[in-house]
Amino acid sequence: MEPSVDANSITITVEGMTCISCVRTIEQQIGKVNGVHHIKVSLEEKSATIIYDPKLQTPKTLQEAIDDMGFDALLHNANPLPVLTNTVFLTVTAPLTLPWDHIQSTLLKTKGVTGVKISPQQRSAVVTIIPSVVSASQIVELVPDLSLDMGTQEKKSGACEEHSTPQAGEVMLKMKVEGMTCHSCTSTIEGKVGKLQGVQRIKVSLDNQEATIVFQPHLITAEEIKKQIEAVGFPAFIKKQPKYLKLGAIDVERLKNTPVKSSEGSQQKSPSYPSDSTTMFTIEGMHCKSCVSNI
């Protein structure tokens, strides 16, 4: 039996928006529609990207909902993208103050939760979430009687591997960045953009005067990323239209391993040390063998 898809993502072109008020109105109204987990509207790109439950909505019904608001919604590509989900395991840490059915109802009403399985006998719950919409810590805040079972935390799609492998729904963007003169410039940009919600990875090359960014278009747009780079003082230009991944092997390596070689072919040499040394670090937040392999 094939597993069911918990959530899909679709991008709809929206004509007729004139200001931020239009954006907020669409996000608020469509965000309330049954089965819609998250919506991100871009005035600059004239688009609305929606994460939704395919059992309750279709690209066509979402298009019609935006049309009914008085905007001209167009479906250039009616093929939705599957959205990755995580599995959160919760266990009872204290005597329950709320009944199990109330806990289940509360979780199911939460945006970003696609499924809840309660096991009263085992005093545990398994919650399926869309991590880009809601986090495991937010789930715990909703039900204080339960806590994360760190021993069995496991991702549905391969336990932490989304940090190293491109996933469906991610987009790669390459930008020309002017005005960088040293590695402090690249670190500033990486630090600023890397903290933005929706940005998965960023690598800035001083030699190439280029930034390669992997982001989730349902949370942030290419135009917003460009504005954030310019906000720290560096003119930025989108080199090519963002493309949905999968990334090629070279691009994956550029994001994983740096620095990037310059276009002139000059290679950065590793500094030489008189002898090797060993240092031990305490690392928190690892949950599985994939985390170990990634590091």
> Where would I find the H helices in the chain?
20-31, 59-67, 100-108, 136-142, 183-194, 222-231, 249-256, 289-294
Cα–Cα dist 98/61, whole Å: 37
Asked if residue 186 lies in contact with residue 204, where contact means CB atoms within 8 angstroms, the answer is yes
Domain 86-148 carries which CATH code?
A: 3.30.70.100
The string of pLDDT tens digits covering residues 229-276 is 998 889 999 887 776 655 444 555 555 554 443 434 434 444 444 445
Tally of CB atoms within 10 A around 284: 4
| 91 against 29, higher pLDDT | 29
Give me the torsion for CA of 285, 159, 258, 238, rounded to 10°.
Answer: -110
- The full set of domain ranges for the chain reads 7-83, 86-148, 171-240
The string of pLDDT tens digits covering residues 148-157 is 765 544 444 4
CA pseudo-torsion sign 71, 72, 76, 80: positive
Q: Is the peptide bond before 54 cis (omega within 30 degrees of 0)?
A: no
Which CATH architecture describes the domain 7-83? 2-Layer Sandwich (3.30)
What mean pLDDT, rounded, does the chain reach?
77
Highest mean pLDDT among 41-55, 141-155, 168-182: 41-55
Q: Whole-prediction pTM value?
A: 0.48
Question: How sure is the predictor about 163, in pLDDT bands with cuts at 50, 70 and 90?
Answer: very low
The string of pLDDT tens digits covering residues 195-226 is 888 888 899 998 889 999 888 887 888 888 99
Asked if the domains 86-148 and 171-240 are classified in one and the same CATH topology, the answer is: yes
Asked if residue 12 lies in contact with residue 63, where contact means CB atoms within 8 angstroms, the answer is yes
pLDDT at 48: 93
Domain 171-240 carries which CATH code?
A: 3.30.70.100
pLDDT at 106: 86
